[in-house]
Amino acid sequence: MTFNDIFKSSFLDNVTSVSVLDMVLTMVLAFCLGMFIFLIYKKTYSGVMYSSSFGVTLVALTMITSLVILAVTSNVVLSLGMVGALSIVRFRTAIKEPLDIAFLFWAIAVGIVLAAGMIPLAVFGSVVIGIILLVFANRKDSSNPYIVVLNCADHASETKALEYLQSNTKKCIVKSKTARQGNVEVNMEVRLKDDNTDFINTLSEIAGVSSAVLVSYNGDYMG
C-alpha cells in the first residue's frame, strides 16, 4: 500500500468499507448500553423535575457516537474531515445537574469504545460505573444542609421557634431575616440529627408560627 492509496477516497469504495455485521452489531450494542445508561440515570436522578427527553438523549448520543466513530475508523480522509466538521458544533443548553455531565460523557465514551471494537471493555465498564452510581448517588446523608423558612407573628414566637429548632437539629444558622408589620420571615440553614423530619410539623404548631417550610439545599432553592 502506497501513500496515495491511504488517502484515496471513492464513494463506491466507502460503501463496503464497513461490513453489515459490524454495523448491526455496533448499533444493537449501542442501543442496549444506551438503555442501560438511561435506566441508571432514571434510578439515580435526584433533581426537582425529571426530564425523560434527557434520558432519551443519552440513548441517542450513544448510538450517534458509535455511528460517527465507526465511520471515522474506516477512512483516514473522512476522519480528518469529521474533526473539522465537528469542531464548529456548539451546544448552548445549560446543564442543571452536575451529575448529568457524567452521564453525557459516559454515553459518549461507551459509543467510542464500542465503535473501536472493544466490546468487553464497554460492557464491563458500564456495569461497574452503573453499580458505583447506584451505590453513591442514592445515599442519603442526614448531615446534608436544609433550609427552614419560618413565618412568625412576633418576636416571642420567633424566639420559641428558634429555641425549638436548636434543640432538635444538629446545627442551626440564621441566613436571612425579613421583618414586616405583623410578620417576621426567617430563613435558616439546618443540619438534621437523623432522617426524621417530623419536627417541622411540631414547629408549625407553635403559637404565633403561621408556616414552617423545610427545603433541601444544594446550592439553589431546589430539592
Phi, psi of 161 (to 5 degrees): -65, -40
Rounded distance, CA 95 to CA 153, Å?
40
pLDDT per residue over 84-133, tens digit each? 555 555 556 666 677 888 888 999 899 888 888 888 999 999 999 999 98
Following CA atoms 132, 100, 114, 18 in sequence, which dihedral angle do they give, to the nearest 10 degrees? 170
pLDDT for the residue numbered 143: 63
What is the distance between the alpha carbons of residues 185 and 195, in angstroms, rounded to a whole number?
A: 25
Give me the residues paired with residue 187 across strands. Answer: 149, 176
| Per-residue confidence (pLDDT) for residue 36, from 0 to 100 | 94
Residue 29 CA to residue 212 CA, distance in Å, equals: 51
3-class state of residue 212 by DSSP:
strand
Domains, the chain, in order of start with CATH, read 3-137 (no CATH), 145-216 (3.30.70.260)
Flag residues of the chain having pLDDT under 70: 1-18, 47-50, 74-96, 138-143, 217-223
Task: Determine the Cα–Cα distance for residues 186 and 209; give it in Å rounded to an integer.
Answer: 11
- Tell me how crowded residue 98 is: count the other CB atoms within 10 A of its CB: 9
* 169-200 as b/e: b if 16+ CB within 10 A: beebeeeeeeeeeeebbbbbbbebeeeeeebb
Confidence (pLDDT) at 141: 54
CA 186 to chain centre: 31
What is the per-residue pLDDT for 8? 53
The per-residue pLDDT for 198 is 82
pLDDT for res 9: 52
> Are the CB atoms for 130 and 87 separated by under 8 Å?
no
Q: Are strands 171-180 and 145-152 parallel, antiparallel or unpaired?
A: unpaired
Give the three-state DSSP class for 95. coil
pLDDT of 140: 57
pLDDT confidence of residue 219: 47
DSSP bridge pairs for 173: 189
